[in-house]
Amino acid sequence: LFLLDEPGTGLHTEDLNKLLNVFREIVKQGDTIICIDHNQHLIASAGFEIKLGPGSGQNGGHLIKD
């Protein structure tokens, strides 16, 4: 399990694509990546997207796509 906080921050588009290729290889090997980020390109490449907030409990996060 890999847990990453904002790995796309400050990356150029080319560097972000390299990072995504590394992520794909990690997942291909059977590992899981949980990534917290605001970068729309990174979010769009995710297998699952979970939106957190604005509340908590039943008013909290929900699955956006799978």
Please write the tens of the pLDDT for every residue from 8-62.
999 999 999 999 999 999 999 999 999 999 888 998 998 888 777 666 667 766 6
- Residue the block writes with tokens 């150029």: 12
The answer to whether the beta carbons of residues 33 and 23 sit under 8 Å apart is yes
The model's confidence at residue 66, banded by pLDDT at 50, 70 and 90, is low
pLDDT at position 20: 95
CA atoms within 13 A on the CB side of 11: 18
pLDDT at position 27: 95
User: Residue 42: is it exposed, middle or buried by C-beta count within 10 angstroms (0-12/13-18/19+)?
Assistant: buried
Q: What is the pTM of this model?
A: 0.75
pLDDT at position 26: 96
CA atoms within 13 A on the CB side of 59: 3
